[in-house]
Amino acid sequence: MFKSLMASLILFSVSNISLAADITERGYDDVVFKDSGLTSNQTDYLKIPKDWAHAYGSDSKTITHLDSNLAELVRLRVGQIDNCNYCVILHTKQTVKMGIPAAKVSSLSTWQQSNLFTDKEKAALAFAESVSSLNHDTSRIAYKNLLKADFSKPEIEELTNVVILMDIWARIFMVQGKVSEAPGK
């Protein structure tokens, strides 16, 4: 039994390591990303955000309370706020893959002026914006509005970690000088 448990743990660790490597190296048929800044990882500074991405990123299997479509909309909105080209492209493609309506994705930056979003989505987006922009005054109000919109404490915890993870990656990609370009350039 112990050998079986150890083998499972090793397999889990190896599979997580291989998945983690993919987080910063994604490309698509119509766009690739190149780094023009920091390209080293000698201190393994990417380990913690990669581990966190497994828990709260688009491919997460551990988010169990927060609706996955809502989490993806929040990821995209935070990418927009952070002016992260990589984040916006990646999470726009994810929303399409998930079947989120194009009109909703297209109007995400103007969600306050749209009736395409539910009250719960609007509460989550307001909270994400306040946390991402470090606005202490609006974050208290946004938190109370999450409770009014019937978010559970576990949903709020997962939502908070989704927002913070996005902010971390946007800053890492900025330092890496990550830019998009057409394949073959």
* Per-residue pLDDT reduced to its tens digit, 51-60: 999 899 888 8
SS (H, E, C) the chain: CHHHHHHHHHHHHHHHHHHHHHHCCCCCCCCEEEECCCCCCCCCCCHHHHHHHHHHCCCCCCCCCCCHHHHHHHHHHHHHHCCCHHHHHHHHHHHHHHCCCHHHHHCHHHHHHCCCCCHHHHHHHHHHHHHHCCCHHHHHHHHHHHHHCCCCHHHHHHHHHHHHHHHHHHHHHHHHCEEEECCCC
Enter the pTM of the model. Answer: 0.85
Segment 116-174, tens digit of pLDDT:
999 999 999 999 999 999 999 999 999 999 999 999 999 999 999 999 999 999 999 99
